[in-house]
Amino acid sequence: MHALRARLDGIAQRVDEMADELSEHAHEQDLASTPDGPAMPSSMSSLRSLLGQADSPGYAEDLLRRLFGASGGSTEDSLGGFEDPRNVGSRTIGVDLESIEAFDPRTTVQGDSFGDCWFLATLASVAAQNPELIAENIELVHGPTPDEDYWIVTLYENGEPVEHVVTQNELVKDGVRGRIDHDSGSFSERISWMSIYERAAVEHVGGDYGDLEANFAGKGFDMITGDSGSLSIDAGFDSIRADLEDGKSVVTSTPPGWLLGGAPDGDVVDGHVYIVEGLSTNEMGEEVVVLVNPWGTPQPPASKPPVLELTQEEYAANFVSRNTVGHDA
């Protein structure tokens, strides 16, 4: 067991050393083939086995935090800002319970230039299971004129609430996120409550856009609910089913591409967090898990599908961990 711990420590150390390069993936091959130091896991099953044998409570989670927790390199220009300021009417943006209850996680759009899937996926999954919390934590404040309206968004730090002010000007400048209809493939450049939350999250991490990139799903749950939830490396559908039946918000992650040489399935994004929508049955009569990709687009130049349906074997081969958070009844 001491040898295993030493190997995990060695991998974690190498991850820390390469943190600055993770977002660029410039050293993928070097990292995979470097002869010095402990050998990296060669498959998803070996990685899962390694994590499962960690002898210290929380050690697997700590290692995964290091794998996913490298800072990115985005600037304020990475968020978009394509909405015409004249189209922004704060009083028409639905931040009430009825609007959030009608929210469809499949309309979550991350875009391909800002790596905050860990935050948007957890935000969408919380909204799907606990819209009341989202509605309580985003408040429209009326100003002297409609143009001066703003929002107060409550996020959490170590379980303690922290309020952030988000103005319309900030959203137009850099906090806009388009929405997409996954059935028709059409885009709608309309500010939503998710845009407001995302802008508040940038402020929450200190205003540095790069720091909102490439983090760990548990951190997203912690910021949004005040509870980091739990981590599981069990890839079985029975455990996923149990989480969903318990009304938990569920997201699942793939390991960074450099670690295992990319995702085995070409439709799966590596180093990415997906929303777990549910379990279903495909045309072959096989049970599948339905996953929503925050930045998938259903039309050219799309590179990955917006929704995945994977069998037990396909899921276990591509996804390394699952994060969940429960909600009080």
Tell me: the pLDDT tens digits for 244-265? 999 999 999 998 877 777 788 8
pLDDT at 35: 40
Which pTM was predicted? 0.83
Cα separation, 70 vs 214, in Å, equals 6
Start-end of H helices in the chain: 2-17, 19-22, 28-33, 44-52, 59-68, 97-101, 117-129, 131-136, 168-170, 193-204, 217-225, 237-245, 257-260, 312-318
Highest averaged pLDDT of the listed ranges 31-35, 172-176, 178-182, 237-241: 237-241
Tell me: the pLDDT tens digits for 99-127? 999 988 887 766 656 778 899 999 999 99
Of 8-22, 90-104, 118-132, 283-297, give the lowest mean pLDDT range: 8-22
Tell me: the pLDDT tens digits for 38-70? 445 567 777 777 777 655 666 667 777 666 665
Residue 180 pLDDT > 50, yes or no? no
Tokens coding 31:
């990292």
Beta bridge mates, 275:
251, 292
Highest averaged pLDDT of the listed ranges 28-32, 69-73, 151-155, 231-235: 151-155
pLDDT at 3: 57
pLDDT at 17: 53
Q: Following DSSP, what letter does each residue of 187-231 receive, concatenated?
A: EE----HHHHHHHHHHHHTTS-GGGGSS--HHHHHHHHHS---EE
Averaged pLDDT score across all residues of the chain: 78
Residue 21 pLDDT > 50, yes or no? no
Cα separation, 185 vs 101, in Å, equals 23
